Amino acid sequence: MVRVTQTEDEIKIVIELNRLLSRKPDIVLLPKYLKFNNPPIFFERHLTDEIDEAESFCKIFKNEARIVLIKKSKGLWPEIFQKLTKEELTRKRIEISDIIIERNKEKDKQAIERYEQKKRAEIDREVRRDSEIRERVKNFETQECKQAVMLGVKKETFAKPQDEKKVERQRVLSANIVNSRPKIKQPVELRATGKISFNFSQFTPKTPKRESQDEQNRPQTANSN
């Protein structure tokens, strides 16, 4: 069921829904044309006057869809929808199809341009950020070098001259340490190589004979008490 009402500023169309929509309906709003398509519901009309398609809108509720058409010229329309024959309706549908195709192409082109602009903006931000990081690193290194140079100059400027007596004591102490070190002996030279001559003499040692080897009989004596 469809209810249509109008005021001097707008036209309100309420389309009752017999079930909750499971997908987004196909809604087309043109200056003199509107379409609401969500199978099995199909509502299509050609308007007698023009509307502001940018300001017009459609809201989907649980049991109904509300289409609000904002009029370009204020006032009540004697007739809201055109009465067309089948031939005129077919011809207008072809015209609307061509318009929708051209508009979709334009939308796609604009979407691609927005995407490219977004990518270029992201690339530009990355380039600027990298440049800023490199510049900060360069400035930091330059500042560190300057501080190191200034610190070296300050150390040389404020260095205290050494006392002559202290220098002399250090020199004497170093000399005593050197003199107190044990002296290393020079290595002994090795003798020259040569030959030694020797001869073995004939020597027969004389040893006493054993009693068993003595041939002379010795007298035997007995001790008597």
Mind listing the pLDDT tens digit for each residue in 20-54?
667 788 888 888 899 998 888 889 999 999 999 88
Q: Which of helix, strand or coil describes residue 191? A: coil
pLDDT grade for 155, boundaries at 50, 70 and 90: low
Helices (H) and strands (E) in the chain, counts: 2, 7
CA separation for the pair 80, 47 (Å, rounded): 6
Tokens 């990298």 appear where?
Answer: 130
**pLDDT above 60: residue 218:** no
5-17 mean pLDDT: 91
Q: Is the pLDDT of residue 140 over 70?
A: yes
**Over residues 156-172, mean pLDDT:** 64
Of residues 54, 55, 53, 67, the one with CA closest to residue 25: 67
> If you write DSSP's letter for every residue of 23-90 in order, what string do you get?
S--EEEEETTEEEEEETTEEEEEEBSS-B-TTT-EEEE-SSEEEEEEEBSS-S--S-SB----HHHHH
Q: How far apart are CA 48 and CA 81, in angstroms?
A: 5
Whether the Cβ atoms of residue 24 and residue 58 lie closer than 8 Å to each other: no
The pLDDT of residue 164 is 67
Cis peptide before 40 (omega within 30 of 0): yes
**What does the mean pLDDT of the chain come to?**
79
- Mean pLDDT (whole number) for 157-170: 63
Residue 61 contacts by C-beta under 8 Å, 6 or more apart in sequence? none
- Which bin fits 75, alpha (ψ -120 to 50), beta or left (φ > 0)? left
Whether 191 has a pLDDT exceeding 70, the answer reads no
At residue 86, the pLDDT reads 87
CB 64 within 8 A of CB 41: no
Q: Is the pTM of this model over 0.85?
A: no
Query: Per-residue pLDDT averaged across 120-125, rounded?
Result: 90
